[in-house]
């Protein structure tokens, strides 16, 4: 069943056990990618919140500075 990376495998030549292994590998990879995507979206949301906080904080500091003058 092993083949060099980038080369296809004729799935009609695989046994039922090999097909089951391929199916499990795909399911595991899909689970990993789904989890990674969820983590990436959460990190993106945190990053956007940080930018929003910085922007609001910078605006408040500028207003405070202008009032002092």
Domain map of the chain by residue range? 15-68
Alpha carbon of 42 to those of 11, 24, 39, 45, 55: distances in Å? Answer: 37, 27, 5, 5, 20
Chain segment 3-61, per-residue pLDDT in tens: 556 788 899 999 999 999 999 999 999 999 999 999 999 999 999 999 988 888 876 66
* DSSP letter for each residue of the chain: ----TT----GGGS-HHHHHHHHHHHHHHHHHHHHHHHHHHHHHHHHHHHHHHHHHHHHHHHHHHHHH-
The pTM for the full model equals: 0.63
């Amino acid at each position: 069943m092993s083949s060099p990376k980038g080369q296809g495998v004729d799935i009609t030549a695989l046994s039922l056990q090999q097909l089951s292994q391929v199916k499990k590998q795909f399911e595991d990879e899909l689970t990993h990618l789904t989890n990674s995507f969820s983590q990436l979206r959460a990190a993106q949301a945190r990053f956007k919140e940080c930018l929003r906080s910085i922007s609001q904080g910078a605006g408040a500091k500028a207003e405070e500075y202008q009032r002092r003058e």
